[in-house]
Amino acid sequence: MFVYAAGGYYYPGKDLAALCAEMRGYIDRGYNVVKMKIGGESLADDARRIEAVLAEIGPDAQLAVDANGRFDLDTAIAYAKLLRDYPLFWYEEAGDPLDYRLQAALAEFYPGPMATGENLFSHQDARNLIRHGGMRPDRDWLQFDCALSYGLCEYQRTLKMLSEHGWSWRRCIPHGGHQMSLMIAAGLGLGGNESYPEVFQPYGGFPDGVRVEGGHVTLPDLVGIGFEQKADLFAEMRALTD
């Protein structure tokens, strides 16, 4: 399964050197796509952050950026005009997840890949995104969270809807960097999954012994989700049940 490293959060005192070191660390772990947050500082400051990371990773990886739905249309467009000059893997969740008009309008200003959908949990909301959000099946990515959707059957209804609208399931890279999401994505044959190498531990990451190579992981032959084979997570679960 393809996996990418999500991080690049804003923290007090976290300077460009620390951000670049974080992204380089992901590449050293085997990832070839890394993701950072945008929208928490000014456009000019975010431009400096992005350019610093791109200079750091060079040809070793691609960069995705995530606004976490914080922009109004004017701000989303202003960022699009900046971001379209960078070789980004995607521009993620610019505005409110239910503001399909904003997403559709943004496509007129951003020709590169966009990603959204992590906060849409029903096949009806997903269908409205496909109908009205201007998403393009040849380049854009869908992030419906298969572990947070209203059950696996509901997620399968979403996938059926996508097929009916000409979308490949391989354009789905679910949000949620944990084993449950990863195992569902693998079982359904989706395009990959998010990963949290450093944040949200011990819930992020993979079973012990699984390594990222060339941006992909090979899942071990484990029963169920495989929580028991991630020692720090299993210890946390055992402590919660004692």
CATH number of the domain that residue 159 is part of: 3.20.20.120
Number of domains in the chain: 1
Can you give the pLDDT at residue 220? 87
205 CB-contact burial (10 Å; exposed 0-12 / middle 13-18 / buried 19+):
buried
DSSP assigned state of 36: E
> What would the pLDDT profile of 181-197 be if each residue is shown by its tens digit?
999 999 999 999 999 99
Can you give the pLDDT at residue 226? 81
Locate 93 and state its tokens: 């969740």
**For range 115-140, the mean pLDDT:** 98
* For residue 221, pLDDT beyond 90: no
Which pTM value belongs to this model? 0.95
Assess whether 35 carries a catalytic annotation. no
Assess whether 37 carries a catalytic annotation. yes
Catalytic residue chosen out of the listed positions 37, 123, 178, 230: 37
Catalytic residue chosen out of the listed positions 35, 123, 175, 230: 175
Task: Note down the domain range covering 38.
Answer: 3-241
* For residue 179, pLDDT beyond 90: no
Three-class SS string for 163-179? HHCCCCHHHECCCCCEH
Mean pLDDT over all residues of the chain? 96
Can you give the pLDDT at residue 200? 86
**For range 7-11, the mean pLDDT:** 96
> What would the pLDDT profile of 132-161 be if each residue is shown by its tens digit?
999 999 999 999 999 999 999 999 999 999
**For range 99-114, the mean pLDDT:** 97
